[in-house]
Chains A and B, each alone.
Chain A
Amino acid sequence: MGKKRAVGADEPTTTSPLDLKTLIREYSLFFDQLVELIPARFFLPNSSDDKPWFPGLSKSQKKKVKAQTRENILKSRRDRLDPTRPTSTLDLLKKSLDEERDSSSDEEDDEDEAIEEEEEEEEEDEKEVAKAQSVALSTDERPVTYEELRERLRRRIVELSAGRNTRPESRLKQERKKEMKNKKKVKVQTKRNQENNKEKEDASAGNTGKRKRDDGNDENFSKNKKKNNVREPTDITFGQVRIDGKENKKRKKKLSKEKELERAKRLEEVKKDPEKGKKVSWKAAVSKAAGEKVHDDPKLLKQSIKREKKRQEKNKQKWRERKETVAKAKAEKQSKRSENIKERIHQKKMRKIEKREKKLMRPGFEGRKEA
């Protein structure tokens, strides 16, 4: 019984300082681990900024604050992905304590400082231990992983882009499809399809130079491959086709009608000349057939000049008349007005006289001066 009591009595009373220290250390480690589990924003006191109060601000202030918010967001985003920054709650706690210490270093007493420093040291130890106990990989590789992360990102990008179909060949296929659509309009020859496609598009643009080259090729080809009955159609032109909605018609300079008249007269002279005249006539005929207006006929031009002159004269006349009528109406109104005003004044005077006379005109009045 004595032994039992001795055993039982010894343990609670004899706590050696070493045991106490380890005990405290163990408890502290346990609490640190608990703290780690809590996310930082719930555990740490929200002391950094005062809560921003937006509604009461003026416009410029609001702008500033908004800019600040944007910057904060970017900064926090960058920091979140920055591998060298401390993320665990313990680290942040340590950081905040550091800041506090710096800010209030002058005000605090030495004792407090000492206590804080001790606490910090212990915290540091704990932190290191905790770190050692917790994930060991991250701490060792922190400075290295940044580059490695970059490498990994690059590799991933290359992988993804290789998977996508961004080759230029696929675009050619779409162009070919458009050409096929053109081809569909003809009962097509079998052999020279691809070559003819190019030539067709050239020819349909109405380009004579190209067509001539095309003819040269075709003639050679047909000479080489001439069969008796079956003759391959060599050059094909289509109807009017508008590609890409281009409207780049050359805007010819518009000459005044007199100049056109002179030009037309000169052309007439040229037409009499056999050689050049032919060329000129054909050119005019072709452009007329295509729908462009060719001002060729001096007689018609004269007529149109005359018509325009007449129109201008008529307009001039109308304007003159209008001015006259406006002026006349104005004058009439003014005269009527002044008439009315005069009349009114006159009437006023007459009324006054009338009133005055009324008093004097009663029968049997003796006081009247005039006879």
Chain B
Amino acid sequence: MARWRDRRRQRAVVKTQVAKNKKQPGVDQVTGGKIPKSFVFARGKLPGPLKQLELDLRKLMLPYTALKLKEKKRNNLKDFLNVAGPMGVTHFLMISNPKSIPYLRVARTPQGPTLTFQIKEYALAADIAKSQPKYRCTPELFKNSPLIVLSGFGGGGQHLKLTTIMFQNIFPAIDINSVKLSSCQRIVLLNYNAEERLIDFRHYSIRLQPVGVSKRIRRIVQTHQVPDLRNLQDVSEFLTKAGYGSESEGDDEAATVSLPTDVDRVNKASNKSAVRLQEIGPRLTLRLVKVEEGLCSGNVIFDEFDTSSVFSVEKETDREAAEDSEKETSEDEPADSAED
């Protein structure tokens, strides 16, 4: 009996050790900077599609986010803040739906500024998956954080500059000299439309394909599957039959890159490879509505619909009351502008 008990205790000890090893690093080994982590959660009750959007955003932010974050109805912002400190979480992404208008708030944890975006349109990852004939989305894609590219944010306005800096710091920095090309597998694109003042948010997966190699040969090299030569007289027919090269040979010269290192079996160094992006993940169209100095509190330093005045709002004590009061002031205007 004693032996049995000891064995159980031993197993328990081993379990905790394994769990400890899985802790995420706080500091990037390569660049030495702090790795930014994020929480994605909802404020208030969300309808079904928005809940799904929240899950999609969580997947997007992997690996440096809490995938299975459990939020209860009674959790306040303060609770999240208290947990965020010890865990090293730097950003909050909050989705809320006051008066049936979805908003996304991006905030920097300790005291940071809050950017409030109104989600004008969105498409879920599941919808995009169904709309594509060949949807490729493996869990391995989410083992590394995505790259981010912002376009069109250069034209004046402090708020745009703040947005770029905010988004640039949500994802960890990469060191050009030592990054492995095979780990850059996802990319997030943000495009600012100056006339309509809308930001397009897209999420793609990156795939490299060697240029100038016919599809059949590429398939053999990649999948190591023996091809079907039933209908052919000779192996040379197999190699020469492809004829048109790869199906989209009319690619622009610019979309091909010559790689500095080997990426995988097919894409070798100093060979030309085409960069293929396939959309995964949610699609959003956002409009920057408000910038606050504190975390959902403090001075409002930018207001989309009332640019003349800068007014201060009381600190958020009661979540719902404060939210309603804030949204009211900015929602009267969108109602007006919508009418226009």
Contact = CB atoms under 8 A, between A and B. Distances in A.
A293 B112 CA distance: 9
Interface in B236-293: 252-255, 257-260, 275, 277, 291, 293
Given A180-B258, A186-B149, A211 B168 contact: no
B161 to A, nearest CB: 7
A247 B154 CA distance: 25
B101 to A, nearest CB: 24
Given A235-B151, A290-B165, A177 B113 contact: no
A274 B253 contact: no
A240 B171 CA distance: 8
B95 to A, nearest CB: 20
Given A184-B257, A271-B299, A289 B113 contact: yes
B113 A291 contact: no
A237 B166 contact: no
B236 to A, nearest CB: 35
B149 A282 contact: no
Contacts, number: 143
B310 A274 contact: yes
Nearest to A181: B260
A285 B34 contact: no
A51 interface: no
Interface in B303-334: 310
B169 interface: yes
B32 A190 contact: no
A208 B154 CA distance: 9
Contact of B174 (A208, A236, A241, A284): A241
In this complex, which of A211, A233, A242, A247 has the most chain B Cβ atoms within 10 angstroms of its Cβ? A242
A72 B266 CA distance: 60
Given A187-B275, A208-B161, A285-B293, A291 B169 contact: yes
A291 B301 contact: no
Interface in A195-236: 203, 206, 208, 211, 214-215, 218-219, 233-236
A289 B181 contact: no
Interface string B148-173: 11111111101001101111110111
A282 B147 CA distance: 26
B37 to A, nearest CB: 12
B157 to A, nearest CB: 10
B153 A237 contact: yes
A273 to B, nearest CB: 11
A345 interface: no
A178 interface: yes
B21 interface: no
Nearest to B164: A237
Contacts of A215: 154-156
Contacts of A242: 31, 33, 173-176
B252 A190 contact: yes
Contacts of A244: 177
B176 A240 contact: no
Nearest to B191: A233
B183 interface: no
A183 B150 CA distance: 13
Contacts of B191: 233
A101 to B, nearest CB: 73
Contact of B150 (A180, A181, A237): A237
User: Can you list the 5 inter-chain pairs with the closest CB atoms, starting with the nearest?
Assistant: A240-B173, A235-B154, A239-B148, A184-B257, A285-B113
10 contacts: A181-B181, A181-B260, A233-B191, A235-B151, A240-B173, A278-B301, A285-B113, A291-B34, A291-B108, A296-B111
Given A190-B254, A291-B108, 6 more contacts: A186-B149, A187-B255, A240-B172, A242-B175, A278-B301, A289-B169
